Structure 1
């Protein structure tokens, strides 16, 4: 038996139906399958009704319990990975209103305890001055005043000492001229100021740092449960543990090359002075 994940689709409902069908074809009840997987029957039921989306480990465990052939394991696992990945087009955010996107981000930040930001191109709104935020939203349609206010409101989370933040910025991200020189100097000074907060680690990767892996995308990892990747046309949300682990591994590679503390602040002082 073979299954085409593209034909089945990428939704949670498709994955749930696939796993339910496979269980029934194997002649197992939910109780017997749960026993083989060492999980509760209620969890199997919630997976099969799409109430929860299983991760790859759960799916592989179920397929092994059903004695599924290797090809089927590979195909349904691919479907599970798709079901745990969400694409959010930027135009959809524009239609709903940018302030709603900011509310969603605030929710993610509120739930997380450890947040990691890799910023290869620009400064994130959490670290930005009002002038920087407004300028960075110039490309967005409509009135951006509410989005600016929301972004500024989100910055309060930086002062929650129960949370830990690590920001990794390339020199390009810090020095990219979103604003005129004087305003850019103020923005860079803000980074230096925030780096003194006890729950914030501000890491800089200066030009000339030898790193074989190119900085392809801005991404954020919330604890070890969710990662988001930004592109020009939208945002991809990864919820599968393996995708998250891969992003954490990439983050660690850059983190090991970054400058923190006083060496980082010395670079920030130098770059701000250049703008002055």
Structure 2
């Protein structure tokens, strides 16, 4: 568990390369993003500003959504649609991108409504990946990333994701929640 400031001491591009590798190896990934969609880490952590390279890498990692070989189940907390990171124009762009990718066959996008009845208390954002060494759960905390590889703990995260995703809205209901957020950011 190396602190972010140390891992990002040369910028964000190397970390993005690592994550791209996880995405490419993962045929069926899962992610729970409860509060924010986009993060601004460069200024906050005081690491080298290579934002254009980092953005290019993030776009590269999204290409797995279009190759027909991968599938991702993603649940975003409704609050994440309204947490103002970057201002209204950035948030509008985020909502437009979600709506643009909403019908991709490789993406099963759910929105966890702020009033959804839960069988568990949602924890911080996490992603479940496959790697050459097996499945892993990735948490991005404020100060460092945490990787969980113990099979019993990964299985517990699968169970948690199932509970969260069963409470989420999908299809027209999820699209309506995103459209409401887009309307909010367009005012």
Q: CA deviation at 1:227?
A: 1.1
- Structure 1 alignment gaps of length 5 or more: 1-86, 124-131
Residue of 34, 52, 74 corresponding to 1:120: 34
* Deviation per residue, 1:223-267 (Å, 9 max, x gap): 471111121111111111101001111000000000111111011
Give the greater-gyration-radius structure (CA). Answer: 1
Aligned to 2:8: 94
Does structure 1 residue 104 correspond to structure 2 residue 4? Answer: no
SS of equivalent residue, structure 2 residue 44: coil
Q: CA deviation at 1:217?
A: 1.1
The equivalences for 1:68-217 within 5 A come to: 87-123=1-37, 135=40, 137-140=42-45, 141-144=47-50, 145-217=52-124
How many pairs are equivalent?
181
- Give 1 or 2: higher strand fraction: 2
Using the size of structure 1 for normalisation, the TM-score is: 0.61
* Deviation per residue, 1:47-102 (Å, 9 max, x gap): xxxxxxxxxxxxxxxxxxxxxxxxxxxxxxxxxxxxxxxx2321222224321100
Q: Which has the higher contact order (CA 8 A, sep 6+)?
A: 2
Aligned to 1:242: 152
Distance in 2 (CA, whole Å) between partners of 1:182 and 1:151 is 19
Please tell me the root mean square deviation across aligned C-alpha atoms, in Å. Answer: 1.8
SS of equivalent residue, structure 1 residue 165: strand
Q: CA deviation at 1:136?
A: 5.4
Distance in 1 (CA, whole Å) between partners of 2:35 and 2:43 is 17
